[in-house]
Structure 1
Amino acid sequence: MLVYSNITDITAEFTDNVVVLGTFDGVHIGHQKIIKRAIEIAKKIQGKSIVFTFSNHPLEIIAPQRAPRKISDNICKEKELQDLGVDILMNIPFTQEFATIAPDEFLALLRKNLAPRYIVVGPNCTFGYKGEGTPQFLRDNAAKYGFSVEVPEAAYLHNKIVSSSRVRHALLDGKLVEANELLGHSFNIEGIVEHGENRGNSILGIPTANIYIPDKYILLPDGVYIVEVCLKDKRYTGIANIGKNPTFAVQSRRVEVNIFDFSGDIYGENLKVYFLQHLRGEKKFASIQELKKQMDNDIVTAKEYFSLKIEK
């Protein structure tokens, strides 16, 4: 997949293009539906599928106080789109200047730089100044700008429309099973392993890798979760605690991951954590011994979970 971080004229090399528009935070099953349709059309006309999206949420510029916390970062979004089979990703920053572009100016910009034969959008897609561009605006101006329009129906799960807002609410409410269904994959976070207080290894005998997630990204409620971990392209199993570790009165909220059957110095390494199942809420224990006993039980429960998965 070719990736561009600025609007780039690709018309000299690619002409039969199918452009899909959207913010695509989380790349949930609703996003996947319209992206797969764009890929299908591109293959049919022997052209290229292009995702045109933003590296930041537009509300971060237009109304920062209303900007939602992000489900995933740009690295995760890029990986999800590549896995779907997208040919080209144009992931540009949304700026104050871009916010002032009228819908017809935006279409002229697409024609000049991407030469779309088709534009594919979801039924609730808006674009241009104050979101005045709509699917109907696209249909009304398709002939003028030389493209056809496809608007796949919205995706539904359990009789409710799928949206990034719904994913966020599910995650904040701790409904991990529902969130993973909406995403079509396990909710995951990614970050660099940083130094902590080394209590996991030195006091509890259970080493943990610490990841600090910026506040602009959404996290599940505090608690212990069964997880899979990707480190240097290898998959491991484990458990993760989200929270401030109240037994030790830690001040900063973070993700602490115990990777099963693993040893080694991974400080500074990038770790991707996939959340599979909630085990319990975070609590303050009366003693270190009680905490260690509970953590040992959590590990046993998680390993049984993975054993049952293998048997199935």
Structure 2
Amino acid sequence: MKVIRIDPFIKVTNFQDHVMAIGFFDGIHLGHQQLLRHAKNIAEQQNLLFTAMTFDPHPDEVINNEKARNYLTPLSEKIDKMEKMGVDALFVIHFDRTFASLSPADYIQNYILELNTRHVVVGFDFRFGHKAQGNTQVLAQAAKQSDFGLSVIPKKMYDNKKISSTLIRECIQAGRVEVIPFYLGANYQIKAVISNTHTIGIFQLDPIENFIFPKEGSYNILLMVDARSIPAVLQCDRGKWMLMVRERITNHQQTVTIEFLSQAMVKKTMTM
């Protein structure tokens, strides 16, 4: 997959005709997956490239001055998941105040038409342009006038709730990691580094990148390390994460994947 970064000083010209899915796609949850699969199917039917467009950082960091925002999928993870979804090229738009000030018409001209987009796929609640003035109705009118296709994907529900990145964030922050597969389609995962050995079988864990972490407590997890999936317990107390594992880990200071399964009942607190 080709990753194409675009900012106000970089323009992409003569790009091959393509079908483009647009969204922030934090988590790439089941609703996002439905949207991306729809775009991929159209691209295959029309023998076009399958592309996606996302934004970095999150608009709230710029518009609402929200600093140090955490993500379900930081950009590097999002890129990896997009590639696994079969995306041929990913446009990453640098979201700054210049981009945020674009009118809906300028956004359509600069980031849809000039990229030779033949079909656009967005979610039902997609907003764009200055102060989110653009919506799917504005996009539909432009599609009719400029002769590009448009698909608007309806919301995806589970248990009478709309699947959304916000809902998933709230569940994780409340420690309800066991419900996440119903929304993500998989257990929630983060990347971290095993940094110190405190005692036999107990390690300190340092998160890498800006992942969302569950609230303080103990969690049953799978530790992906050394090509193995090892059952373990992860405990957070006063902002420190400690890993309790019965199998031997020989290579410290390595990046590992933590897959959250459920909250755990741990009677004795690990020494921090």
TM over 0.5: yes
Q: Tell me: CA distance 1:67–1:157, structure 2 relative to 1, closer, same or farther (3 Å).
A: farther
Give the conservation status (yes or no) of the 8 Å contact 1:230–1:236.
Answer: yes
**How far apart, in 2, do the equivalents of 1:192 and 1:12 lie?**
42
CA deviation profile, 1:65-124 (whole Å, cap 9, x unmatched): 499642221121112211111111112321111110111100101245421111110001
Q: How does 1:87-236 map to 2 (within 5 A)?
A: 87-195=88-196, 198-199=197-198, 201=199, 205-212=200-207, 217-231=211-225, 234-236=227-229
Give the conservation status (yes or no) of the 8 Å contact 2:72–2:212.
Answer: yes
Secondary structure in structure 2 of the residue aligned to 1:191:
strand
**How far apart, in 1, do the equivalents of 2:232 and 2:208 lie?**
17
Q: Whose strand proportion is higher, 1 or 2? A: 2
Query: 1:218: how far off?
Result: 2.0
Which structure is larger by alpha-carbon Rg, 1 or 2? 1
Letter matched to residue 265 of structure 2: R
TM-score, length basis structure 2: 0.89
Secondary structure in structure 2 of the residue aligned to 1:150:
strand
Residue 301 (structure 1) aligns with: none
Secondary structure in structure 2 of the residue aligned to 1:64:
coil
Query: 1:209: how far off?
Result: 4.5
Residue 5 (structure 2) aligns with: 5
**How far apart, in 1, do the equivalents of 2:246 and 2:122 lie?**
43
Alignment counterpart, residue 270 of structure 1, candidates 251, 255, 268: 255
Residue 240 (structure 2) aligns with: 254
Residue 57 (structure 1) aligns with: 58
Query: 1:13: how far off?
Result: 4.9
How well do the aligned residues superpose, as a CA RMSD in angstroms?
A: 2.4
**How far apart, in 1, do the equivalents of 2:222 and 2:59 lie?**
32
Residue 247 (structure 1) aligns with: none
Give the conservation status (yes or no) of the 8 Å contact 1:228–1:274.
Answer: yes
Q: Whose helix proportion is higher, 1 or 2? A: 1
- Contiguous gaps of at least 5 residues in structure 2: none
Residue 16 (structure 2) aligns with: 14
CA deviation profile, 1:126-185 (whole Å, cap 9, x unmatched): 011111110111101113333111001111111211111111111122221222211111
Give the conservation status (yes or no) of the 8 Å contact 1:162–1:182.
Answer: yes
**How far apart, in 1, do the equivalents of 2:66 and 2:112 lie?**
33
1:27 equivalent to 2:17? Answer no
Q: Tell me: CA distance 1:132–1:207, structure 2 relative to 1, closer, same or farther (3 Å).
A: same
Secondary structure in structure 1 of the residue aligned to 2:34:
helix
Q: Tell me: CA distance 1:67–1:118, structure 2 relative to 1, closer, same or farther (3 Å).
A: farther
Percent of pairs identical after alignment?
24
TM-score, length basis structure 1: 0.78
Give the conservation status (yes or no) of the 8 Å contact 1:238–1:257.
Answer: no
